[in-house]
């Protein structure tokens, strides 16, 4: 009969053996992978290393926020891909959160027709794969026809199979990226300053529009109008903001799908707000809108933010379906770089590390946001 001490020593020994076994197996697996990769690369005479990043690409793609040409280097093209992914991801995070809150609130509404309609929406868009929705929407949009058959939206905006032409402020793309960053900085500043929810949103909205107008007033090309409105010239529209149809289809389909998911999160959060609080509000004579904005949403946010953060990471990852409809997101650019340069391992490594970095940043941000919200209770 072994003593307790002996048993403890035995257990310790076993745990050490298991752990070293796992370490050794991991090391062997990594060693095996590396040596096989080296062997396979030399066997097939493939070049390896990152020197290809300095080479010209020689090919073009559908969308970029900044100037691009076919003599861009690979690293610059990959950077444009990252910008596109972040851009689409950011837009989708904002739109899905916005529509998700509206639809989720409707789902939670007492009004039977409204909650039924919201339910129909959620059941349709949540239960069809996102990629199928994107392909479907893209197929419908590109059948709208060329610029000459464009649908005229009040003479200032046009929708055709090529894209959506919107009137815009007369500024260069680089300035608009700067403005976008400034707007994000204001939002983060407001969260740090612990501004209350609705006031913070209002300040953010007004000041973002304000700096846009200010920047246009200072920076727009002299002699040209303040606003730029699209007009048909030759094969395409000139002036205004041109949203390529690939970008439009991607953003709209992710928005439709993502808001159905966020609506469910919001509904769950709202329905967990204790009925007593709502009744207290009613007893104070608050209107329904005040009860919603001052009691239900602030209370619900605490249970909404963690799953919301997961959905935001999902949005970022969902941009990769852009490849199915010809939108040049980071994944598309990486896959095309692989087939044009053959540097498979290096490019996949860059892609994975980039996504890890982006998604860890979002996770850190939502954790931080969550901590902010929880602290407010004290």
Partner 1 sequence: MKKYITAGALAVMGAIAPQIASAQSATVQQIVERGTMLCSGHNGSYFGFVEVNDQNEWKGLDIDLCRALTTAILGDPDANQIVPLSWAQRFPALQSGDVDVIIKATGWTMGRDTELGLQFSLPYFFGGTQFMAHGDLGITDATGLEGGTVCVEAGTTIERLAANYMTTIGVEHTMVSYESQAELRSAYLANRCDAFAGWGPNLAVLRATELDNPDAHIILSDQLSSEPISAAMRQGDDGFVDTVNWMLASLLIAEEEGITSANVEEMAATPPNPRVARLLGAEPGMGERLGLRDTWAKEMIAAVGNFAEIYDRNLGKDSPYGLERGLNSLWNEGGVLYAPILD
Partner 2 sequence: MSIVNVAPPSKFDVARKTFIRNGFGSPLTTLISVIVIAGLAYIGWVLLDWGIFRAVWSEEDVSQCGGHAGACWSVIDARHRLILFGTYPFDEHWRSTLAAIAIVLTVVVSCQPVIWRAKRLAILWIAGFATYYLLMEGSLLGLPQVTTDGWGGLSLTLFLFAAVVLLGMPMGLGLALMRRSEMPVVRWFATILIDTVRSLPLVTTLFTAAVVVPLFLPSWLEGDKIWRVIIAFAMFFAAYQAEVFRGGFQAVSKGQFEAGRALGLSYWSILGRIVLPQVFRHALPSTVNMIVVTFKETAIVTIIGFFDILASGKAAYGTAVWAPYYIEVLVFVAAIYWVFIFLLGQYGEYLKGRMALAAH
> Which residues contact partner 1 by CB under 8 A?
17, 20-21, 24-25, 28-29, 31-32, 35-36, 39-40, 43-47, 58-62, 69-70, 139, 142-143, 145-146, 161-162, 233-236, 244-246, 323-324, 326, 332, 335-336, 338-342, 344
- Six-digit token string for 270: 């709202």
d(CA 49, CA 345): 9
Q: How far is the CB of 220 from partner 1 (least distance, A)?
A: 23
Kindly list the distances between the CA atom of residue 344 and the CA atoms of 53, 169, 339, in Å, as whole numbers in the listed order.
13, 41, 8
For the chain, give the longest Cα–Cα distance. 97
Q: Which is nearer to partner 1, 125 or 332 (CB)?
A: 332
Q: How far is the CB of 217 from partner 2 (least distance, A)?
A: 41
Instruction: Indicate the DSSP class of residue 150.
Output: P
Q: Decide which of partner 2, partner 1, none touches 117; Cβ closer than 5 to 8 Å per partner kind.
A: partner 2
* Closest to 66 in 3D by CA, of 40, 89, 86: 86
Q: Which is nearer to partner 1, 72 or 108 (CB)?
A: 72
d(CA 142, CA 147): 11
Q: Which is nearer to partner 2, 229 or 324 (CB)?
A: 324
d(CA 353, CA 95): 27
- Six-digit token string for 37: 């990769």
Q: How far is the CB of 293 from partner 2 (least distance, A)?
A: 18
Residues lying near partner 2 in the complex (CB under 8 A) are found at 15, 18-19, 22-23, 26, 32-34, 36-37, 40-41, 110-114, 116-117, 120, 123-124, 126-133, 135-136, 139-140, 143, 313, 317-318, 320-321, 323-324, 331, 335, 338, 344-345, 348, 351-352, 355-356, 359-360, 363
d(CA 206, CA 93): 20
Q: Decide which of partner 2, partner 1, none touches 132; Cβ closer than 5 to 8 Å per partner kind.
A: partner 2
Q: Decide which of partner 2, partner 1, none touches 351; Cβ closer than 5 to 8 Å per partner kind.
A: partner 2
Kindly list the distances between the CA atom of residue 117 and the CA atoms of 97, 122, 124, 261, 262, in Å, as whole numbers in the listed order.
19, 9, 11, 15, 16
């Amino acid at each position: 009969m072994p003593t307790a001490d002996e048993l403890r020593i035995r257990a310790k020994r076993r745990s050490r053996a298991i752990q070293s076994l796992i370490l050794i197996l991991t090391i062997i697996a990594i060693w095996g992978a590396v040596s096989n990769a080296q062997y396979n690369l030399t066997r097939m005479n493939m070049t390896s290393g990152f020197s290809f990043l300095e080479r010209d690409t020689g090919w073009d793609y559908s969308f970029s926020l900044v100037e691009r040409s076919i003599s861009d280097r690979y690293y610059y093209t990959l950077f444009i891909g990252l910008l596109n992914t972040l851009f689409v991801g950011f837009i989708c995070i904002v739109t899905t959160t916005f529509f998700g809150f509206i639809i989720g609130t409707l789902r939670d509404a007492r009004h039977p027709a409204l909650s039924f309609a919201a339910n129909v929406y959620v059941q349709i868009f949540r239960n069809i794969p996102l990629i199928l929705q994107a392909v479907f929407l893209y197929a419908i949009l590109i059948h709208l026809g060329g610029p000459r058959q464009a649908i005229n939206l009040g003479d200032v905006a046009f929708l055709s199979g090529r894209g959506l032409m919107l009137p815009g402020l007369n500024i260069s793309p680089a300035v608009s990226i700067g403005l976008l960053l400034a707007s994000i900085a204001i939002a983060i500043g407001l969260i740090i300053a612990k501004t209350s929810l609705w006031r913070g949103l209002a300040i953010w909205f007004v000041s973002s529009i304000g700096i846009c107008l200010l920047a246009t007033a200072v920076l727009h090309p002299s002699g040209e109008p303040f606003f730029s409105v699209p007009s048909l010239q030759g094969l395409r529209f000139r002036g205004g903001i041109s949203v390529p149809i690939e970008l439009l289809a991607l953003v709209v389909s992710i928005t439709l799908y993502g808001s159905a998911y966020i609506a469910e999160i919001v509904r769950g959060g709202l329905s967990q707000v204790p009925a007593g609080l709502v009744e207290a509000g009613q007893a104070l004579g608050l209107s329904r809108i005040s009860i919603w904005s001052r009691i239900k949403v602030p209370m619900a946010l605490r249970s909404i933010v963690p799953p919301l953060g997961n959905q935001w990471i999902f949005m970022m990852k969902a941009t990769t379906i852009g490849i199915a409809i010809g939108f040049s997101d980071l994944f598309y650019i990486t896959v095309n770089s692989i087939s044009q340069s053959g540097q498979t391992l290096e490019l996949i490594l860059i892609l994975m590390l980039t996504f890890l970095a982006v998604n860890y940043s979002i996770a850190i941000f939502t954790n931080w946001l969550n901590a902010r919200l929880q602290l407010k209770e004290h």
